[in-house]
Structures are given as C-alpha cells and as structure tokens.
Amino acid sequence: MSEPTPSSPAVSRCEYTWAFLLLRLFLGLRTFFEGVEKFEKNGTYSFANYYENMGRMAQGITGASFLPLWATRNYAHSLGYLLLILGAALLLGIKTRCTLVATGLLYVSLSFGLMAVQENEGVAWLGVYIGLFAGALALVRHNRFALWRDRID
C-alpha cells in the first residue's frame, strides 16, 4: 500500500479538519469572552455590573432608534448569557452545527440593532464575523474533537 500523496483525500480531510477546528476555537473564544465582558465594570465582574451595562445598552439603542425599550431590555438581559452558553458550546464542540447557526443568528440580531442606530462601523465588523460563521458552516462536516457531535457528522 502506497503512502498518501499531498493531494490525496486523506491529507485534504486532515487540513479541513484543522482549518475548521481553528475557526471553531476562534469563534468560540470570541463569543465566550464577548459574554464575559458584559459582566465587567472598572475591572470587576459581577451580576450587578451586568445588569447595569445591559440596561445602558438597552436605553442607548432605544434612545437612538425605533426599537421599544421592552424589546431592547429583554434582548440585552439575555444577550450575555446566550453569548456565554454558545461560546462555551463552540469551544467544547457541543452540537456544533446547531450552535454555529444559533450564534450566527445572534450576530445577525446584533447587527440588526446596530443598523437601527446607524452604527455602520460596528455593522461592518459583525458582517466579518457572520462571514466567518458562514465559512464555518461550510466546513462543519470536518468537525472533530467534539464533546457532543451532531448526528449528521
């Protein structure tokens, strides 16, 4: 039996596997720490800080857009926890396909909020992330090292 050449299917699969793993870890870390940062104020982390930060965010978005306060407040209060859960799930490889879709949708919802306040720079940054999520979904069939694999894997 001959050794696989660099262009053989076995080597290609290995490269895709690592490519996806890198992307998954990056997106997982980014999402998780985006959630952690919501609990911080003046270098300290607490639930009180979280609700203060999120309250400010909700007020700010409502003040600068057509979105009602009840909607932005509910969204903001759940945002940090969602980011933590989804980030951790990506890092650990828990139902990665579903998690990527859910996290991608969460980023789309964030960009919707920024579009509503015409924060174009932020929208552009979120667009980059959403592109990365789309790329990750295209590679998700190469997902390995996962704690709880999708059934299709």
Partner 1 sequence: MPNPKTTGFTRRDFLATGAKLGAAFIAAPYLARAASIGGGSDSLNIGLIGCGEEGRVLLSAALKIPNIRFRAVCDIWPYNLRYGERLLEKFGHDPKPFEDYREMLSAVPDLDAVIVATPDFVHAEHTNAALKAGKHVYCEKLMSNTVEGARSMVRTAKETGRLLQIGHQRRSNPRYIYARDKIVRGARLLGRVTNASAQWNRAVTEDLGFPAKQAIPEDVLHKYGYANMHEFRNWRWFKRYSGGVISDLGAHQIDVFNWMLGSNPTSVIAGGGRDYYPNHEWYDNVFVIYEYPTSEQVVRTSYQVLTTTSAGGGYYEYFMGDEGALKMSENPKYTKLYREARAPEWDSWVAKGLIARPGSGEGALPPVKPWEKPLSHPPMMSKSVSSVVDVRETAELSAWDMPVTLDKAIHQPHLENFFDTIRGKATLNCPGETALASAATILKVNDAVAARKMLSYVPEDFTT
- Contacting positions for partner 1 (CB under 8 A): 37-38, 40-43, 53, 56-61, 63-64, 113, 117, 119
C-beta of 41: minimal distance to partner 1 in Å? 7
Residue 81 or residue 148: which is nearer to partner 1 going by CB?
81
Q: Residue 11 Cβ, how far from partner 1 at the closest point, in Å? A: 37
Q: Judge contact between 47 and 39, C-beta under 8 A.
A: yes
Shortest gap between Cβ of 3 and partner 1 (angstroms)?
A: 45
Neighbours of 31 (CB within 10 A): 25
Do 46 and 93 form a contact (C-beta atoms < 8 A)?
no
Short-list 108, 89, 92, 104, CA closest to 138: 104
Show the tokens assigned to 43.
């270098």
Q: Which of residues 16 and 125 has its CB atom nearest to partner 1 in the complex?
A: 125
CB of 56 to partner 1, least distance (A): 7
Nearer to partner 1, 15 or 40 (CB): 40
Shortest distance in whole angstroms from residue 109 CB to partner 1: 14
